[in-house]
Copies of this chain bind each other. A is one copy, B any other.
Amino acid sequence: MQGFEFYNPTRIVFGAGKIAELARLVPANARVLVLYGGGSIKQNGTLDEVRAALHGHDVREFGGIEPNPRFETLLQAVEIVKTEQIDFLLAVGGGSVIDGTKFVAAAARYAGNDPWDILTTFGSTIQDAVPLGSVLTLPATGSEMNNGAVISRAGDDKLFFGSERTFPAFSILDPTKTYTLPPRQIANGAVDAFVHVMEQYLTYPAGALVQDRFAEGLLQTLIEVGPQALATPTDYTVRANLMWSATLALNGLIGAGAPQDWATHMLGHELTAVYGLDHAQTLAIVLPAMLQVRRADKRAKLLQYAERVWGLHEGSDDARIDAAIAHTRDFFERMGNPTHLAAYQIGSDAVERIVGQLARHGMTQLGERQDVTLDVSRRVLEASL
């Protein structure tokens, strides 16, 4: 087990009807800005529920945060926070809204000249941030219980930042709020969570026995409840386990003390930036190819994954690894996410284009051993066609 520091002060309030707890959770005298996305929370009644819970609070609203939240949009919210002297932000939505709200929180109190520097310094220059909370409506990214965010900007830039100042103070997780989500978003969320776990698990054995067991438990749960969540959208137990699994997949716990990969995410981000694919679609495409191309380096963990997660005990080592990768691909496909670029009408010219993006962003030493060079990424992309 590697040395680590684990710190996660976000309060999780979980269950049906918990939005009413906002009355207690949001500071009574705060000037509050509620941030949200494209308006589905207006149609399904969630915004009304939030408004009712905050009755008596001093509240303003800011809608229109996009999937892959954009720097330019968020700067408009920063302006409101400054001019209206907002001192509490409430994100109501999925990972994009929460990520965007974290950026607004940091940018509104940023001492530097250009808030984009928050991204280019990965958050290390953040000294202060407006306190924030969240109401999660879409289980996927884990942003509700971590301090990280991914922000996009015109010109194919999609970058990450994180800071201890940008943990949500609380997040409300009400599984019934996911009942009306489109199947595509549920499918994407399950795949996103699954790959988050894999990035922190499928590396090499490092004596992190507890972390391995927890990761395997999350993968097994996602494999069990993912298809059920599509088949029976209003099954509370299924949605509750999907939601809590997605949160635990990226709250820092399973990665603490374990080697981490994240190469699949880096290639995926470039595919989204260039072709506009959903984040989870890119992960479903890249991960099986990544495991195939790097199977020698990941051999021991692939065998453990085959046995413990997929129950594969028969056949040669290579046959079990092949089967584990095939099962992984099949899970993504059953969740409605094709696992080849061709299914999205993207051809072989993508290979050099994405390699060029990776080069431009300095992504030349990816993976748990920093040995995923541009040449390895090229082979992964070729295997993704």
Q: Which B-chain residue is minimally distant from A206 (CB atoms)?
A: B237
Instruction: From B12, B16, B256, give the contact of A7 (CB < 8 A).
Output: B12
Does A244 contact B257, Cβ atoms closer than 8 Å?
yes
Does A18 contact B1, Cβ atoms closer than 8 Å?
no
Interface string of A2-15 (1 = CB under 8 A from B): 11111111111111
Q: Which 4 A-B pairs have the closest CB atoms?
A: A3-B15, A213-B217, A207-B237, A9-B9
Say which one of A48-56, A63-71, A220-228, A299-307 lies at the interface with B: A220-228
Does A7 contact B11, Cβ atoms closer than 8 Å?
yes
A87: min CB distance to chain B, Å: 21
Q: Pick 16 A–B contacts, CB within 8 A, sort by A.
A: A1-B236, A1-B237, A1-B240, A1-B241, A5-B11, A7-B9, A8-B8, A9-B9, A12-B256, A14-B257, A207-B241, A210-B218, A213-B214, A214-B217, A217-B217, A244-B257
Number of copies: 2
Say yes or no for A346: interface residue by CB 8 A criterion: no
Q: Which B-chain residue is minimally distant from A12 (CB atoms)?
A: B6
Number of interface residues of A (CB under 8 A): 40
Does A244 contact B8, Cβ atoms closer than 8 Å?
no
- Cα A5 to Cα B13 in complex, Å, equals 5
Q: Which B-chain residue is minimally distant from A18 (CB atoms)?
A: B3
A17: min CB distance to chain B, Å: 8
- Cα A3 to Cα B221 in complex, Å, equals 18
Q: Which B-chain residue is minimally distant from A11 (CB atoms)?
A: B7
- Cα A241 to Cα B7 in complex, Å, equals 18
